[in-house]
Homo-oligomer: A and B are copies of this chain.
Amino acid sequence: MAITIKDVAQLANVAPSTVSRVIANNPRISEKTKVRVRKAMSKLGYHPNFIARSLANQSTRIIGLVMPSSSNDYYQNPFFPTILQGLSEGAQENHYSLLLSTGKTEDEIYEGVVNMVQGGMVDGIILMYSRMNDHILTYLRERDFPFVIIGKPYDYIEEITYVDNDNVLAAEQATDYLIKLGHERIGFIGGDVTLVMTLDRLSGYERALKRAGIDRRGEYTLHEDFLHEGGQAAAKRLLSIEEPPTALVVSDDLMALGIVHSLREMGVRTPEEISIVSFNNVLFSELSLPALTSVDINIFDLGYQAAKGIIHMLQTGDAPAGTIIPHHFVERHSCRSIKQGAMAMTY
């Protein structure tokens, strides 16, 4: 058995409650005894027991992290660790810890969250994604349990604290960029259609086309899980269209890389024959060939602000509204102008 508050109390000749007060740095304890107690603590190598404290306090200073159930893809994407780094830093600064949800299927994850919440393991939850009709979100709302969502809520946006980019605007700008380069046959390759992020980027894409007076073609929009097939399916589909697009807006760098790769295998070169702009600007976007033109969404900040947000909620009790993290466009070498007479922008 480890050193407890009682051992310290005994050595310092005070009551356990006094030791507790010293730990909390209660001002009603005289400096003298504080010093004496602290000496006893370090002499014994005392360390407070978190579990006991949590039980008494009804608070653990632990934040639960919930990942989407399509975890395989999520884990593979550099998006995930970066956001985790942001969360970690935000938590650390306020002396909070992070508990990971495990579980592969949606049910397993749901159950895990219920255990975390009802089991009193966490003071708050961060949902690392936003999707439509999410059971977990509903559950947390019903119980009125503090949570922050990374991404734009699908419903009840006024009542939920979230951290997000302006994905509609970002996608609109990305599409605009392609339009300015002279492209009209522009496709959109999205990720998981149940994620609000995907929907937002799609509507930004549509808005840009509309404003430019370009008709949107159904066959130019693809939504699938291309990570594992490395974009093969998407590439084939695109090339089978009679009038294939000359440019693509791709919802994610890794997907973009897969598509570039597959198209190349089928003899279509980027950016010579097809221009691509993608999202996230992860580290390898810069290192790939061609280097990817990408929208940097400040992934780290997304995590950092989410951590700050939930901690703020827990400490003050009030729920800040949505926080929008700025994005910026990073032009590299995966797009070329197809205006008549323009120079090719190649690597």
Q: Contacting chain B: which of A82-90, A185-193, A335-343?
A: A82-90
> Which of A131-139, A157-165, A286-294, A322-330 makes up part of the contact surface?
A286-294
Q: Are A120 and B51 in contact, CB atoms less than 8 angstroms apart? A: yes
Name A50's closest neighbour in chain B (CB-CB): B119
Nearest B-chain residue to A347, judged by Cβ: B264
The interface size of chain A toward B, counting residues with CB under 8 Å, comes to 57
B residues in contact with A258, CB < 8 Å: 287
Complex: how many Å from CA A104 to CA B91? 11
Q: Is A48 an interface residue (CB 8 A)?
A: yes
Complex partner residue of A51 from B60, B75, B76, B288, CB under 8 angstroms: B60
Judge whether A20 is part of the interface by a CB distance below 8 angstroms.
no
A284–B283 CB distance below 8 A: no
| Contact assessment for B76 and A88 in the assembled complex, using a CB-CB cutoff below 8 Å | no
Q: Which residue of B lies closest to A288 (CB)?
A: B288
With A75-B81, A102-B91 known as contacts, the answer to whether A47 contacts B119 (CB < 8 A) is yes
- On chain B, the residues within 8 Å of A78 by CB distance are 76, 78, 81
Which of A92-100, A167-175, A204-212 touches B?
A: A92-100
- The 3 A-B residue pairs with the shortest CB-CB distance, nearest first, are A47-B118, A50-B119, A92-B102
Known: A92-B103, A264-B289. 11 other contacts (CB 8 A): A47-B119, A49-B118, A49-B120, A50-B119, A51-B51, A55-B55, A71-B85, A71-B88, A78-B81, A80-B81, A261-B289
What residues make up the interface of A, taking CB atoms closer than 8 Å to B? 2, 47-52, 54-55, 60, 62, 71-72, 75-78, 80-82, 84-85, 88-89, 91-92, 96-100, 102-104, 108, 112, 114-116, 118-121, 227, 230, 254, 257-258, 260-261, 264, 283-284, 286-289
